[in-house]
Amino acid sequence: MAPTPLTKQRPSAQSAPGVSKHAQWSTVVWDDPVNTMAYVTQVFRRHFGYGLERASSLMLKVHNNGKAVVSTGPKERMEADVYAMHSYGLKATLEPVEST
């Protein structure tokens, strides 16, 4: 049976041209004019389990630098973290960690 457009398999990330496979990915939270610094700190503490000092430090990076990497790990876990940040009303993106 020939593959149909619905059953055709996608190329893997390793075999697709122009696509690189990254072992580690990052969740990046971006500054916005809506959420308060206290709220962002609370989200980092609640979702990631960070202590007050770590959560406050990350919140200040977001506020002062416009963004901060708040977690790093496997792609699927970081996708879940980005989704969670969106559910809290924060702007977040997924970015590959460049190997050195």
The mean per-residue pLDDT over the stretch 11-15 comes to: 41
Enclosing H/E stretch for 21: none
Confidence label for 81 from pLDDT (cuts 50, 70 and 90)? very high
Rounded CA-CA distance 82/76 in Å is: 10
Distances (CA, A) of 42 to 1, 3, 20, 80: 55, 49, 35, 18
Residue 100's pLDDT is what?
A: 65
Structure tokens at 69: 């990497």
For range 67-83, the mean pLDDT = 98
- Structural domains of the chain, with CATH: 32-96 (3.30.1390.10)
Pairwise CA distance, residues 31 & 67, whole Å: 6
What are the tens digits of pLDDT across the range 32-64? 999 999 999 999 999 999 999 999 999 999 999
pLDDT per position as a tens digit, 15-31: 444 444 668 999 999 99
DSSP, res 96 = E
